[in-house]
Amino acid sequence: MAVKKASEMFSKSLIEDVHRWGCMKQTGVSLRYMMEFGSTPTERNLLISAQFLHKELPIRIARRAIELETLPYGLSEKPAVLKVRDWYVESFRDMRAFPEIKDTADEKEFTQMIKAVKVRHNNVVPMMALGVNQLKKGMKLYEKLDEIHQFLDRFYLSRIGIRMLIGQHVELHNPNPPLHTVGYIHTKMSPMEVARNASEDARSICFREYGSAPEINIYGDPSFTFPYVPTHLHLMVYELVKNSLRAVQERFVDSDRVAPPIRIIVADGIEDVTIKVSDEGGGIPRSGLPKIFTYLYSTARNPLEEDVDLGTADVPLTMAGYGYGLPISRLYARYFGGDLQIISMEGYGESNAYSISYLRSYPFIFEINFDVCLLLTRAGTDAYLHLSRLGDSQEPLP
């Protein structure tokens, strides 16, 4: 199939408009501002929000459309990436074609339009993954392609922001919003509850793939709440727990021992809420640690097929394979001023069992060295998810 540049697919004036808007300055907002502004979704506030999005969204979309045309190593020419490019240019065209928003009727019509834009972009992540996979097949040293990794970080961070702005505005129209919610934001979100729901979802996938799943123990204050976006946290915890379940399940699949549980600890600090996900899945080799936040690396088979139609199809949930879970989870954390860190200790030897058995024979030593015992028996991976509880971080604008 012949590769077609955007200039061959769309009118010259539209492409010139894309480049003009792509040079304009973006405007970031904070979680706190979204929450305070949306707390009173009057017709006037919704009108102001729509007018802001009418100008802001085309700038952000244009920047990504331009970048999709100029990617290195021939990535821009991959069929899947061309499809994503077309989605972005089409969305830009729809935004620019919409007239000035002057009243409530205009605002409601605009809201329906951006809802359609959001749906159009539902499968951008797996489609880009397919494009990268198409590139990867013809290359060997793919883990060293820093330009691709940096582009994908910018691209997906921007996508998170665009979908957050659209989703927040659309959800403010909900006539019966759930208690303590402002659009996408839950003003009294329980991280324990979200972690429990995400863990259950991950375990159900593990059961489907392996026929069993390790237990998950969650520790923390169930009454603690703070303002955050539950869907973002659910995605991040789900990805971390899914990775841990897979590691433990595959490590103990042929063992006589009962698979050890995944541990989740929720700690509320003054500035951050930290969620620690720990497993005993054998850890990650030191040589593999630099790769875990890259988009071109996965230890599992890629579930995407070349002929899959991602324009309309739902993407199947699997335990692993895309290689996108950790890097995208880190971007979600960073979007509102948080971060994600991974610490791993490789190996799981018999000496660990001997160590704890030996210490158990000396109650006094065992009591003093209980933390040491846990360390000895916990060769595996610890993921630290940091979430800013202050909410005053501006969106990072790539």
Q: Are 161 and 397 in contact (CB under 8 A)?
A: yes
| pLDDT score, position 303 | 55
| pLDDT beneath 70: ranges in the chain | 1-8, 138, 140-144, 296-323, 348-378
* Rg of the Cα atoms in the chain: 23
Tell me which residue of 92, 82, 73 sits closest to 124, measured CA to CA.
82
| pLDDT score, position 163 | 97
| pLDDT score, position 135 | 85
Q: Tell me whether residue 229 is exposed, middle or buried, using C-beta atoms within 10 angstroms of its C-beta: 0 to 12, 13 to 18, 19 or more.
A: buried
| pLDDT score, position 208 | 93
| pLDDT score, position 358 | 42
Q: How far is CA 234 from CA 98, 152, 275, 362, in A?
A: 34, 22, 12, 43
Domain 185-388 carries which CATH code? Answer: 3.30.565.10
Q: Tell me whether residue 174 is exposed, middle or buried, using C-beta atoms within 10 angstroms of its C-beta: 0 to 12, 13 to 18, 19 or more.
A: exposed
pLDDT tens-place string over residues 75-106:
999 999 999 999 999 999 999 999 999 999 99
| pLDDT score, position 394 | 84
Separation of first and last alpha carbons in the chain: 32
Same fold yes or no, 1-179 and 185-388: no
Q: Where are the domains of the chain?
A: 1-179, 185-388
The upper half-sphere exposure of residue 267, i.e. CA atoms within 13 Å in the direction of its Cβ, equals 13
Rounded CA separation 133/357 (Å): 47
Helix (H, G, I), strand (E, B) or coil at 385: strand
The fold adopted by the segment(s) 1-179 is Butyryl-CoA Dehydrogenase, subunit A; domain 3 (1.20.140)
| pLDDT score, position 353 | 43
DSSP 339: E
Q: How many other β-carbons are positioned within 10 Å of the β-carbon of residue 73? A: 14
| pLDDT score, position 10 | 85
